[in-house]
Each structure stands twice: as C-alpha cells, then as structure tokens.
C-alpha cells in the first residue's frame, strides 16, 4: 500500500482486505478503515473481521463510494499522530459532501491500531465504542488539552468547523452540530448561529471541500466528447470552451488537436498519454468505461439527442459559476471605485448574457 501508483495498481481504487471482509461488513452494517496492512491484520486477528485498509493520504471519494455499496456506516481509525489526524481531516469534507454516517476513533498520541491492540486491547475496545462524529474528532484530535479556554483557540475551532457545517446538506444535522459547538465552547447557540450566518466559506475551506458536482460534470462531458470525437468541436460551436476553468481548457485543447490530427487513434490511451501529470487519469478512464457501457447501444439519432442534453447542462452550470464570479468582482470594483475594472466586468457580463442565448 505504500508503493507508488503503477499502470496496474492505483491507490485511488484499491482497498486492502475488502474482498475478504465484504460479507462481515454487510452483516455488521459497519466497516472499519485503518491506514496500513499491519493495522488491518492486527484488527482482524483481534476479531474485527470487518476491517479494511486504505492509505490515508490517497483516500478518495471513489473509496468512499466503494465502501458505501456495502454499508452506510464507516468508522475511521487512523494513527494518533499529526499525519494521521491530517489524513482524517482531509476525509471529512468528502464524508460531509456524500452525507455519510461516519465515526472517527481518536487514538492516543503516537499510537496506531496495531501498537494499541498489542499493548492495551481494553483501551482500544473502549475507544472503538465511543461514537465520535467529525466534530468530536476535530475537538479531541486538535485540542488535546480537553477544553477550549482561550479566545484564540475558540476562534481556531470555529474556523475549522463552521465552513464544514455550512456544507452539511440537512438543517437538522447543522442544528445538532451548532448545539455541540456551543457546549464545547460554553457559548450560546445564538452566538454560534450568528457566526454561521456571517461566515463566508474561506478559500482554504473551499479548497478542502471539493466542488465535486462542477468537476464531475466537466470531466464527464470531456470524457463523452473523447469517446465520441465526432462531437469534439461542439464546445467551440456552443461557446462553451471559453467558460471552462483553465485546467480543463488545456485538456480540451489537447483533445481537440489530437482528434483533428490524421494520426488520431481510436485507442483513447494514446490521448491520455498527452495529458500532464496532474490530470485525473483514473477518474477519466473510469468515466470512459461507464460511457462505453451506457451509450454503447444508442442509435446515432439518440446519441445526438443525448449530446445536446449534456452540452446544455454543462453550459448552464458554467455560466452560473461565471455570472456569480463577475457579480462578486463587480461589487469589489465598485467598492474600490475602480472604473476601468467596472467597465471590463460589465462588458464581460453582457458577453455572458449573449452566449447564454
């Protein structure tokens, strides 16, 4: 699991021990996720047969989807050091975005499941029985004194948790978290709600919580066009290319140039080799397989109809994002009395309205 990715082995789609644990996971309605193979084997030897292992640094939404096919409840047991805590912190946004019932076991500092089971199995069992959601985890893992006494710590706690609460899809769950924060801080719920309403999601929190919907739509559209290259130039015809984020513009440009070349091959792997290291090869390859399976039996007429639906959807989503960005930038330009910038943004706004038609 600590080996690098290869054409055969991809951390983003590999879960150690999953095959052996499948039936037990379904029976227990819970899966225990640890970071390493040794930790997994120790848990299994201790009788926890519903344990699997995933590299914390490589844990992705794909892993989450694979586990959710077997159970709605997931328990994360990562090492009790800074690296383990940070790995768990990276997972929390995915858990929230997918509305997963997740528990986080907070191990003692510098302990991992294997060492704690060998040294103090009773303590490990006790920690396993504690129901700690992601908010409890942040409190226990990052505020080890057990209480938050200073205003600076309280602010840090709010900075870590409020943006995540804003992402929760259900108001009832948000209310539960607000109550818990108020209890941890010894503050009124009213104060926490005011903070929640006033707080804009910071750039760091926005980066932490991936914009899966927008990214998935873009990547799906590009995969669809690569699988059916006869439609590849339609992003230009529909003024969609210019709306793409810069990284995806580069991807589309490479794909368009590739399929415009007489040397273009029907083997998409030739195209994938043209992309940079940062390109999500695994996700794209999986989408291509799904598209081939789903659209393989479509008639030419039905395929054209589906293409129209896909292009209209992505254009609508991208225009929405662009309009919001222009509106925010225009507000800032007016506040700064930046007339040239105002003029530029108004022209861009008019252009977006024109291509919306």
Residue 57 CB neighbours (<10 A): 12
Classify each residue of 295-324 as buried b or exposed e, where b means 16 or more C-beta atoms within 10 Å of its C-beta: eeeeeeeeeeebbeebbeebbebbbeebee
Cβ 54 vs Cβ 12: under 8 Å: no
Say if residues 99 and 170 touch (Cβ distance below 8 Å): yes
Task: pLDDT band for 274, please (50, 70, 90 cuts).
Answer: confident
pLDDT exceeds 70 at position 335: yes
Per-residue pLDDT of 232-265, as tens digits, reads: 777 666 667 777 777 778 778 888 777 777 766 6
Averaged over 210-227, what is the pLDDT?
70
Indicate the pTM of the whole model: 0.54
Query: pLDDT band at 85, cuts 50/70/90?
Result: confident
Q: Mean pLDDT: which of 135-149, 257-271, 304-318 is highest?
A: 304-318
- Scanning 129-200, the segments in alpha helix (DSSP H) are 134-142, 151-166, 171-185, 189-198
* Residue 322: pLDDT over 60: yes
Q: Rounded CA gap, 75 and 101, in Å?
A: 9
pLDDT at 351 > cutoff 60: yes
pLDDT score of 76:
94
pLDDT tens per residue, range 28-72: 999 999 988 999 999 999 999 999 998 655 677 888 888 988 998
Answer for the pair 94, 210: CB distance below 8 angstroms, yes or no.
yes
- Sheet with 73-77, strands from edge to edge, namely 51-53, 31-34, 73-77, 101-105
Give me the pLDDT at residue 287, please.
74
What the block records as the tokens of 346 is: 């108004």
């Amino acid at each position: 699991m600590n080996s690098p990715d290869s054409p055969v082995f991809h951390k983003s789609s590999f879960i150690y021990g999953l095959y052996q644990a499948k039936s037990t996971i379904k029976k227990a309605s819970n899966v225990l996720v640890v970071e390493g193979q040794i930790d997994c084997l120790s848990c299994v030897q201790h009788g926890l047969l519903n344990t699997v292992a995933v590299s914390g640094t490589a844990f992705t939404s794909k892993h989450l989807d694979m586990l959710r096919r077997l159970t709605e409840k997931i328990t994360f047991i990562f090492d009790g050091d800074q690296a383990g805590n940070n790995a768990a912190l990276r997972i929390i946004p995915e858990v929230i975005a997918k509305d997963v019932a997740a528990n986080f076991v907070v191990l003692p500092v510098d302990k991992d499941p294997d060492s704690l089971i060998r040294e103090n199995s009773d303590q490990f069992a006790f920690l396993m029985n504690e129901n700690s959601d992601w908010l409890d985890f942040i409190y226990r893992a990052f505020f080890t004194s057990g209480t938050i006494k200073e205003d600076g710590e309280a602010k840090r706690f709010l900075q870590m948790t409020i943006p995540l609460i804003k992402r929760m899809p259900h108001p009832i769950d948000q209310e539960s978290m607000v109550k818990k924060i108020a209890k941890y801080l010894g503050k009124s719920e009213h104060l926490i709600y005011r903070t929640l309403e006033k707080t804009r999601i910071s750039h760091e929190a926005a980066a932490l919580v991936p914009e899966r919907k927008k990214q998935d739509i873009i990547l799906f559209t590009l995969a669809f066009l690569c699988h059916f290259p006869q439609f590849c130039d339609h992003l230009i015809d529909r003024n969609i290319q210019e709306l793409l984020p810069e990284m995806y513009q580069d991807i589309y440009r490479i794909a368009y140039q590739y399929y415009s070349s007489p040397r273009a091959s029907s083997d998409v792997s030739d195209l994938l080799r043209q992309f940079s290291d940062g390109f999500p090869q695994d996700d794209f390859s999986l989408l291509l397989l799904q598209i081939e399976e789903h659209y393989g039996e479509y008639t030419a007429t039905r395929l054209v109809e589906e293409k129209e639906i896909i292009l209209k959807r992505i254009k609508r989503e991208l225009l929405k994002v662009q309009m919001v960005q222009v509106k925010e930038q225009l507000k800032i330009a007016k506040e700064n009395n930046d007339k040239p910038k105002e003029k530029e943004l108004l022209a861009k706004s008019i252009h977006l309205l024109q291509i919306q038609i």
